[in-house]
Structure 1
Amino acid sequence: MSLAQSVKTVAALAERSELERIKVAIESVGDAVYDWTSANDELVWSGPIDNLMGPDVAAKLKMGRDFLKGIGDEGRAARERELRRAILARTGFTAEYKFDLGNGEPMWLEERGTCFMDDTGALARIVGVVRDVTERKKREARLTFLATYDELTGHLNRSRLCAALSEALTQAQRHQRQGAYVVIGIDGLALINESHGYDIADELIQMVGERISYALRKHDLMGRVAGNKFGVVLPNAARDDMELVASRLLEAVRAEPFQTSAGKTIATISIGCVELDSGVKSSQEAMSRAEEALDSAKRNGRDCYVVHHASPAKVSWRRRNRAVADSIVSALAENRMKLAFQPIVHTDSAKTAMYECLIRMEKPGGEIASAGEFIPVAEQLGLVRLIDQRVQELVIAEARRSPGVTFTFNVSGYTASDTPWMRKFLEVMEENQDIAKQLVVELTETVALRDVDESVSFLKALRGLGCRVAIDDFGAGYTSFRNLQALDVDIVKIDGAFVRDLASSADNRMFVKTLVELAKNFGVEVIAEWVETDAEVKILKEYGVEYLQGFLYGAGKMETPWRS
């Protein structure tokens, strides 16, 4: 053998060895390797083709045409498009298609191949691998399903129903067509949960949903909008049509018991209805109005329907709330929430002891809105937690800029009852523990007494971080000796309603004196709010009140005199 022949032999062996390694690596992940020759249509397999296809099917796949038969017309067309693209671009190809195994359950295959051309440019050979991707396709199909449908019932999910409602509303208003939306609540589902468990409740939800769907008109669209609620869009439905559908649904559900795994169960539904007229501006508004009507149906004894009637006053109230909500969100996003500072003074010297931080909203034009203009709406619409979070951020930032100055700020009742938010609040305070001694956190008395054990834990954690804690509106909740002792606070702020007219009201004087004595018994300092006259100051000083707050000493202002 010549040297040149030896070199060729070694190179061939090296190439074969490399190919063997590649083949083993591919086969180790369960892929089957094929080599198809155009001249004789021969299809040669290597790797776990028997495991992939099953031995009976694999034994029949000796020719290319045999393999193509299993793919089916749609899959063959898609594969052919990928082949043509690969041949023109001189690149590899990838195709996915169903393959019929003959057992009624087609598998999904992913094929990756490389085309080899002869001297004339015609396709001579394809070498590639096929892989079972059935499980991935099932997962993708499931995700696609869940993007549109509710997993438990198979009806539309809330987002898709909302989109359908938006389309129906657009059609109704653009083409002067009538339409309606109804929301359906299953009565007493909580009792089913408690008595039989969530599995039986889920069964009932499915069965009620099926019975509702059978009673609907052909073009009505149904979806699950909450745990025990379904929504139905009624296109081209006049008022009479809407009420007829609602009556039919009530009768369909109450007609006979439902046979669950726990036995026969009787169920009824309540329905809230709204017409898609010019007064409804969005799908969210339609859903909100239907929910209001549903609440009325439940108050009326359940197993009935109520049609929403929008009074002019309610429409005006809703529009105002929507405008205020938009302004709150914009102010939060654009950093237009500001602090005003009201002085709290020492009773003896009238010198400022601390400042209460009061939230203000700067409007786009520069005007300042007081808390009373937007906080009630924020509480109704669930935005107050975001405001409380911003207040905390602003107070901490001001305390950092103002060493030695003490600031008090209030946590709203809605936020104080939200355990996850309270944890976050404590985490932020822990991160800023170095300035905690400058802060007094206020909790209203009624909120503190709502869950005494939870309040005790929260206030104890705050004190452990170095903050002082205060009970605001002291007297409004009639705190008992035991509760005041349990809360273990540093300061109480007497409700201003009892301080007002203190000089002229014997009842107020007696009540305030009793509150001060109660606080003194536990070594708690007292702040009197709403102080407006010298006569009130004199009485409060006699009672031993340590601090005073009110217009007599200054309203809340955005200036920061301690820095100037």
Structure 2
Amino acid sequence: MSRASKLPRPIRAGEQSVASTADAGALDCAAILQSAGEVPYEWRIDTDVLTWGADAARILGLRSIAPVASGAGFEALLAKDNAKTRRDTILHSTGTDHGAGVPYQVQYALRLGPRSPKLWIEDTGRWFAGADGKPCMAHGIVRVINERHEREEKLAYLSRFDAQTGEINRWYMTERLAETLKETERTQSSCGFLLVAIDNLGRINRSYGYDVADEVIAVIAKRLRGRMRCNDILGRFSGNKFGIILSKCSPDEIGVAAERLLAAMRDDVVMTTAGPVPVGGTISGISAPGHASTVEEVLARAQETLDRAREKRPGSFLAYQPSLEREAQRRANIRATDSIIHALNENRILLAYEPVVDAQSRDLAFYECLLRVRKPDGTLAPAAEVVPIAERLNLARLLDQRVLDLAIEEMAAHPELRASLNVSASSTIDPDWWTRLESLLRLNPAVAERLIVEITETAAIHDLDNARGFVRRVKDLGARIAIDDFGAGYTSFQNLRKLGVDMIKIDGAFVQNLVRSQDDRTFVRAMLDLGRGLKLKTVAEWVQNEQSAAILTSWGCDFLQGHHIGRAALTRPEAATPKAATGS
């Protein structure tokens, strides 16, 4: 007797479940399955007899269970395009039955008539082997999953296609691009990639609304599709950009295709619910494998070329051309990024303290905390060497966060320390920097009144509303705000008053030649008068000699800073007790 023959007999069609006489409270399993819309079955593979549980005909949408009383009869109702069936799953199983059976689960569709919709089934069960080790019996449960299958199909569609345009999305487009590059390598041919940007989509959003901008995007997608070859691939790259993969395309043909697509975008206005909207576009193109051999290289160089085209010649096509200078800069950026990240991870970011003194008494007022990076060879890199690169690579906020941590830690450990620290423009709108500042000052409330936060004048006037919000939030936390490099951006009297800062630090470029330059003397004195008129404390940076210091003091400058006063150092003198920067 085979192991399969020892298994309990399933409930047959029309039979009622009988509770155990030993336990009158046993569950009525057949009723539960029927209520849940599930049907048990047993399939004797050797005889092809298929026995079903109660209510199978209703759940499967059949008038009678007779047509599916055999495996062959059931398979006759299966849709022709099923990827797998129950029979395939069991008979091609690689599992081995060691006595407990081998589990399986498969989804397939029934089509009960030529014009009937598909009925999607989930089939879960176990098959059992006969004496020869091959499947001889299976039992399981089927359920109708039409709604779930529809949801899964929709999710699968959205994972590969853009809902707004119906074209493939960026993720799937990169897959197709990878396949195209492999095929190009195999056939030793070439292909192209175009990055198409709708120009001024932000203006359309502001002028007409986002719904109209969405209409524009959908229409442009159709126009691009209408001017492409049938074998080319169009995908939504990002909000206002499309990517087009040009299979079997020479470098010269890339330009021809791009001009055809530009014409499609700009020749006619786009008719929307808000009326006609003029639309233009800019396109970049790259040939592969000639100018790029990987997906990453194709996308990066296409984006880089598009940026150049939009900056210099919006509304045109620009093809990527190799540049030794650009490649050298890219490699330098990669090295710089790696260097900065390693310095952060290895705690090689340090603070140097540059003294700022009271102009009249020359007593220490506070220190400016300046960033230093200890290189792997032990030498120090100043902020001027690191910060511009970090800002270009969008890493300045990470450095700002580390400097903030170090400065607050030092001020908390030394209650006499008053200090200022610089914040880059990117950090003023960085929620992580704000969260860190708030939490550190909450943990160390006595630090706030001794802390001065410096932002550059150019950053402040670039976005005055954002700068005002930044100033207000810092002051609400109890700290003070200084405008650094004041004079470089030529802030107006009205804007300076609106900002509500506590202090201005006059740009050292105007201070360092104070003795020799009448123009600089005129300019610096005017800024000091402006600060005094607004009741702001003033700091002169880059004071180089005693003569300059004396002039500044006679003009009413409050604080002095520069090499004549003291150079920045990793350690600071502890003898002097600092005075408040407010002059109180």
Tell me the TM-score range normalised by the shorter chain.
0.7 to 0.9
Residue 267 of structure 1 deviates from its aligned partner by 4.5
Q: What's the secondary structure of 1:18's corresponding residue?
A: coil
Trace 1:225-374 onto structure 2 (pairs within 5 A).
225-253=237-265, 267-276=279-288, 280=292, 283-298=295-310, 302-374=314-386
Q: 1:528 matched to which residue of 2?
A: 540
Residue 408 of structure 1 deviates from its aligned partner by 1.0
Q: 1:463 matched to which residue of 2?
A: 475
Residue 533 of structure 1 deviates from its aligned partner by 0.4
Q: What's the secondary structure of 1:338's corresponding residue?
A: strand
2:410 maps to 1:398: yes
2:97 maps to 1:90: no
Trace 1:6-155 onto structure 2 (pairs within 5 A).
12-15=20-23, 17-20=25-28, 22-28=29-35, 30-36=36-42, 38=44, 41=49, 43-46=51-54, 50=58, 52-54=59-61, 56=63, 61=68, 65-71=72-78, 74-81=84-91, 85=95, 87-91=97-101, 93-102=103-112, 104-113=116-125, 128-155=140-167
Provide the C-alpha distance between the structure 1 equivalents of 2:142 and 2:290, rounded to a whole number of angstroms. Answer: 58
Provide the C-alpha distance between the structure 2 equivalents of 1:64 and 1:281, rounded to a whole number of angstroms. Answer: 52
Provide the C-alpha distance between the structure 1 equivalents of 2:294 and 2:342, rounded to a whole number of angstroms. Answer: 20
Provide the C-alpha distance between the structure 2 equivalents of 1:362 and 1:398, rounded to a whole number of angstroms. Answer: 18
Q: 1:6 matched to which residue of 2?
A: none
Residue 25 of structure 1 deviates from its aligned partner by 4.6
Q: Is the 8 A contact 2:192 2:249 kept in 1?
A: yes
Q: 2:581 matched to which residue of 1?
A: none
Provide the C-alpha distance between the structure 2 equivalents of 1:90 and 1:115, rounded to a whole number of angstroms. Answer: 9
Write the deviation string for residues 488-512 of structure 1: whole angstroms up to 9, x where unpaired. Answer: 3332211112212222333333332
CA 16–48 in structure 1, closer or farther in 2 if over 3 Å, else same: farther
What is the count of residue pairs matched by the alignment? 551
CA 34–166 in structure 1, closer or farther in 2 if over 3 Å, else same: closer
CA 374–14 in structure 1, closer or farther in 2 if over 3 Å, else same: farther
Q: What's the secondary structure of 1:327's corresponding residue?
A: helix
Q: Which amino acid aligns with 2:394?
A: G
Q: Is the 8 A contact 1:157 1:225 kept in 2?
A: yes
Q: Structure 1, unaligned stretches of length 5 or more?
A: 1-9
Residue 216 of structure 1 deviates from its aligned partner by 3.4
Q: By percentage of residues, which structure has more helix?
A: 1
2:425 maps to 1:413: yes
Q: Is the 8 A contact 2:271 2:277 kept in 1?
A: yes
CA 205–104 in structure 1, closer or farther in 2 if over 3 Å, else same: farther
Residue 245 of structure 1 deviates from its aligned partner by 1.9
Q: TM-score of the superposition, structure 2-length normalised?
A: 0.80
Q: What's the secondary structure of 2:453's corresponding residue?
A: strand
Residue 16 of structure 1 deviates from its aligned partner by 6.0
Q: What's the secondary structure of 2:407's corresponding residue?
A: helix
CA RMSD of aligned residues (A): 3.9
Provide the C-alpha distance between the structure 1 equivalents of 2:93 and 2:49, rounded to a whole number of angstroms. Answer: 16
User: Which of 220, 224, 234 is 1:222 aligned to?
Assistant: 234
Q: Structure 2, unaligned stretches of length 5 or more?
A: 1-17, 577-584
Residue 453 of structure 1 deviates from its aligned partner by 3.9
Residue 100 of structure 1 deviates from its aligned partner by 1.3
> Which moves more between the two structures, 121-130 or 436-445?
121-130
Residue 282 of structure 1 deviates from its aligned partner by 5.5
CA 123–189 in structure 1, closer or farther in 2 if over 3 Å, else same: closer
Q: TM-score of the superposition, structure 1-length normalised?
A: 0.83
Q: Is the 8 A contact 2:101 2:128 kept in 1?
A: no
Identity level (%): 33
Q: Is the 8 A contact 1:108 1:134 kept in 2?
A: yes
Q: Is the 8 A contact 2:353 2:369 kept in 1?
A: yes
Q: Which amino acid aligns with 2:475?
A: R
